[in-house]
Amino acid sequence: MKLRTTRRQRLQTHYSGRLLCDFLLLYLVFHSVAEALVLIFPTIYAMSGGLLLQWLLHDNFSVAVAVGYIALFGIAVETGVVMVVYLHEALEHKLQGGKPLTNADVEAAAIEGAVQLCGRNS
């Protein structure tokens, strides 16, 4: 039982460290706490969904499951980063017009970036 507690504590420390490390890397890339948080929060939702499904299926938490959660976390962050990059690109395209942006311009840029993202993934 003591070994299980030690493993669980190490995994909790690893997850916390991973979350902090990813947040710092995102901050260094985007130079914005807000964008780093926008990219971190969906990963928390992804992990909570995984935990909920694991609980519903009465599945045990094992090392393999922990590795799966680490991979899930990385994929969720990667997908968010790609989306933010394409959305920034579309917004920069709108800004090149030289006129002030309206809410409609921002919405159009978001749709353009999302369509661009979907088109490149197919």
Residue 4 has pLDDT above 60, yes or no: yes
Cα(4)–Cα(101) distance, integer angstroms: 56
What are the E-state strand segments in 1-122? none
Say which residue the tokens 């094992």 belong to: 62
The CA-to-CA distance between both ends of the chain, in Å, stands at: 49
The answer to whether residue 115 scores a pLDDT higher than 80 is no
Instruction: Taking residues 4-20, report their average pLDDT.
Output: 76
Residue 39 pLDDT class (50, 70, 90 cuts):
confident
pTM flag (> 0.75): no
**Positive/negative CA dihedral, 18, 80, 91, 93:** positive
Contacts of 118 (CB under 8 A, 6+ apart): none
